[in-house]
Amino acid sequence: MNGHPTREEDFDLYALGALEGDEKLAIESHVVSCADCARKLAEAEGRIALLAFAAPRVEPEPAVKQLLMEQIRAAAESAAPEREPESERTTGSKWWNAVLIPAGAALAIATLLLWNENRRLDQQLAALHASMQQQQQLQDAREIAGLITASDTITVALAPQAGMPKGAARVMYNAKMGMLMYDGELEPPPSGKSYQLWLVPANGSPTNCGVFTSVSGQPNHWMMKLPQGIEPKAFAVTLEPAGGMPQPTGPKVLVGGVS
């Protein structure tokens, strides 16, 4: 298959085992190199696997069960070859064996098939998850490279304030791209407190750029997207209640003005 399947229902048909020949081979060869179609196929197989559990459980009436057993017994007796009479206990035992042994074998086969299908689905989902992680990492790397190399990206150093936890940080920010990257190291905050980074705009209220805690000797680093076009006047890290606040309420720990 040179392109994506033209019919979305092909994934469900494949999961049901309804595709054969070239159509089946085309799906199988295509999903090996297409993460998007592999995800769609895994979702279709998941839907089909859940169909077995979708019907509500219904307990038959005792009379229905008794009638069914009598019909099974009559069919077994009519199909049995002529033989010497046996005791009732021996006949009952052989009849139960004739019914239960095939039923047990069928149940064992069904269980094995379901286990194999679940294992195959788990393997496909694991491969898809790994592929998506790789794609996300590649996208993150491209965005970082774009932010760093853009001519209109600014870098702002954040300096510690008197009487506050010691540390330092820097912010790289591009208003046109709406992207920000923070790198810094701070002493751990007091119990029940969090640090919060703010973009202080030339006009309007500060914009939340991330809530974080810190561990001694370990830097904090993250990248985030913001609304495009916000012109900054300064960046600041404040000390806030654990979990952060909609607007700054605590003292400034790090501050850096935009020149």
- Quote the CA–CA distance of 78 and 223 in Å, as a whole number: 77
CB 252 within 8 A of CB 202: no
pTM of the model: 0.50
H-run or E-run covering 23: helix 21-31
User: Could you give the dihedral angle defined by the CA atoms of residues 95, 99, 105 and 106, in that order, rounded to the nearest 10 degrees?
Assistant: 170
- What is the rounded average pLDDT for all residues in the chain? 78
Q: Can you give the pLDDT at residue 69?
A: 65
What are the contacts of 49-58 at 24+ separation with CB within 8 A? 49/114, 49/117, 49/118, 49/121
Q: Can you give the pLDDT at residue 122?
A: 72
Where is pLDDT greater, at 93 or 259? 259
Same domain for 34 and 18, yes or no, is: yes
Q: Can you give the pLDDT at residue 237?
A: 97
**Residue-range definition of the domain harbouring residue 135:** 62-78+90-147
Same domain for 44 and 66, yes or no, is: no
Question: Of the ranges 18-22, 52-56, 172-176, which is most confident?
Answer: 172-176
Same domain for 131 and 188, yes or no, is: no
Among 34-43, 104-113, 118-127, 195-204, the range scoring the smallest mean pLDDT is 104-113
Domain count, the chain: 3
CB 132 within 8 A of CB 143: no
Q: Is residue 104 part of a domain?
A: yes
- Quote the CA–CA distance of 253 and 167 in Å, as a whole number: 9
Beta strands in the chain (DSSP E): 154-160, 167-174, 179-186, 193-201, 207-212, 220-225, 232-241, 252-257
Going by pLDDT thresholds of 50, 70 and 90, the confidence category of residue 112 is: low
pLDDT tens digits for 212-228?
999 888 899 999 999 99
Same domain for 68 and 137, yes or no, is: yes
Q: Is residue 230 part of a domain?
A: yes
SS (HEC) of 143-192: HHHHHHHCCCCEEEEEEECCCCCCEEEEEEEECCCCEEEEEEEECCCCCC
Same domain for 161 and 227, yes or no, is: yes
Same domain for 137 and 194, yes or no, is: no
Q: Can you give the pLDDT at residue 107?
A: 62
pLDDT tens digits for 46-67?
766 655 554 455 555 566 556 6
Helices (H) and strands (E) in the chain, counts: 5, 8
pLDDT tens digits for 236-248?
999 999 999 999 9
Going by pLDDT thresholds of 50, 70 and 90, the confidence category of residue 104 is: low
CB 41 within 8 A of CB 15: yes
- Quote the CA–CA distance of 25 and 85 in Å, as a whole number: 57
Average pLDDT over residues 114-131: 70
